[in-house]
Every structure is written in C-alpha cells, then in structure tokens.
Amino acid sequence: MRRSSQLPCIRSSNSANICGMSNSYEPYPPGTVLADGQYVLTRLLAVGGMGAVYKGTKQSALRMELPVAIKELLPHLSEKKPLVELFFTEAHLHAKLHHSNIVRVVDLFTDRGRFYIVLEWVEGMDLRVLIKTLIKKRFSMPLPVGLFILYELLQALHYAHHVMIPEKHVTGIVHRDLSPSNILLSRSGEVKLTDFGISHAGERLIPFKRVLGKKGYMPPELRDGGLGESRSDVYSLLVCFYELMSLFNPLLQDTENPDFNLGRARPDIPKSLLFIVQEGLLPAVHDRPSSTEMLSMLEQAVARESIPLGSTLLSDFINKIMDH
C-alpha cells in the first residue's frame, strides 16, 4: 500500500514520526473529507517518490466506517498527463488481481484535481518494520514463521506470474518492485503483497526517469537497466527472506559481489532450504527457478524436514512483537 521510489518509504503509527518527507508536499490534516464524503483521512502513513499514503475510513450507506489505505499521486506529478494515465492504468490492472496474498484495490477516484487509489487495510506491520524491530529487540526470526511468509509470498507470485486478464491483453504480471516495505503481515496471520504500481509499466516509465525496483533488492538485470521478468521477482523475494532470517542485507554492502551465505548467519537452517535460497539468488536470471518451481521446491523441503507452517504461528509472533 505504500511505495518508495527515489525517496525512502517512511512508515509510522503517527505522522509526527515521519521523516524524509518531500519538502514540496503538504499533507492533508486528519479529518479531511474526500470524494463527496465517501472517504475520511485519519493520518498520514508514508511519503515516497511517487505517492503519499494515508490511513482512512470508507463511509458506507449504513454509516459504518471501514478502514482503508488511501494512496495519493503526489500533486506535482498530477500535472503530468502521461503519468496520471499510467497511474490509473496500473491501478486498474492491480484491481484485476484476486488472490488472498495480494492486497485488494477497493476504489479509484479523483478529488480537487488530485488522484487516488483506495486499498484494503491490513492491520499489522510491514516486513521492513518487522526486521527493524527484530534488530532493535535483538530477537531472531523463528524458521517456521519465516518459511511461512516465504511460502505465502511465493503463492502470490505464482498467481501474478500466470494470471490472465483478457480485456487488458495481459498474461502474467511481474511486480518489479518487491521489497520489505510492500510485504504486509497482519495480526491475524495473513501475508499480503502490495504495490504493483510499476508491474506492467516497463519502458513507459523511462520518460519519467523512474528506476525499476529499490536499491538493495534489485536483481542484476534490473541494476543493469533492464526491465526484468518473473524470475526477477524471485530474486528480490529471496533477498527479503535472506534479510529477514539473517537481519542483514549483503546487497546494501556490495551490489557487484554480494556474499549470500545464509548458513553462516543461521546454522540452524537445513541444507535443503539453504540450497533453495542460493538457487533463487543466482546472478543470472535464466539460471534461477521460476516462482512455480520455487514453490514446489519449498513444499518438498518443508515436508522432508517436517517443519510446521501455518498462519497461527505468524499471528502469535506478530502479536508478540507488536505488544511487547
């Protein structure tokens, strides 16, 4: 629900803690009403290079208030007609994705010359916040919980990489911007992938000098200026998993020759699982397994090692972290 492109993505439970905000962006105050009373902004959550994201409520005919995330295209970008068209094209494409591990698009609207996407609200935290919290509290990530997160995200990628949308003439969607900040973990044990904002845009972003992906999570083919393909997502996901389990991201130290050695950081992880991680992080895109192959490899390894997976384990862990 929240993006960072050229500016870092900033998240907080209250807007006072938000830093790195674009000097040119003036956030709406809490209580701002949008779309003729359909939505009310509660608080600012994040500001990135392309958008600002608020928590808000959707007002129903029965006077029920449903929590939502409301993403605004930054005002100075709203003046660029091709980018506005791209914003809505990508949002319509995201809205066609229906999977339990992908955040739903609820609505699209304009208000006072500004452009918005409404997304389902996920009560919990994103993976970036979880990793920072684990480091701060000196906790380690339990292997079954980490593997469950990986398993759920591979299911999301498997679906996205094979989805067919005939009316859009699309077969398969590549995320291209996968990082901890767009992996959401709910208190009830859900894992959801969000922010498909540049998934199908490809070369259409070049005129806006938009970099595909985030530093520290981009596979070599994206770092070299390519558009990537489905196995680019596999690489980015495995970097996220590596960082979650080791609390360290080698790509932030050395993008040319990152030292991905998860076994050294986590000797408790079985070799069969370490092999899967290494396969997903192979530098040559055509050497990597697809999301479907990764999913099958993970299912077999987890069964072989008799490791329990389930949403209850994740729910208990997230609630422990958030309430600690």
By annotation, the residues acting in catalysis are: 177
Short-list 262, 98, 302, 304, CA closest to 313? 302
Residues 117/91, Cβ–Cβ less than 8 Å? yes
C-alpha 50/C-alpha 116 separation (Å) is 12
Which residues make beta-bridge pairs with 170? 165
Q: Alpha-carbon dihedral of residues 182, 186, 189, 191, nearest 10 degrees? A: -20
C-alpha 221/C-alpha 73 separation (Å) is 28
Specify the amino acid at residue 233. Answer: D
Which residues make beta-bridge pairs with 70? 54, 118
Short-list 40, 39, 42, 5, CA closest to 22? 5
C-alpha 188/C-alpha 45 separation (Å) is 21
Which helix (DSSP H) or strand (DSSP E) does residue 122 occupy? none
C-alpha 163/C-alpha 159 separation (Å) is 6
Q: In what order do the strands lie in the sheet with 33-34?
A: 33-34, 39-47, 51-59, 65-73, 114-120, 105-111
C-alpha 139/C-alpha 142 separation (Å) is 9
Give the number of other Cβ atoms within 10 Å of residue 304's Cβ: 11
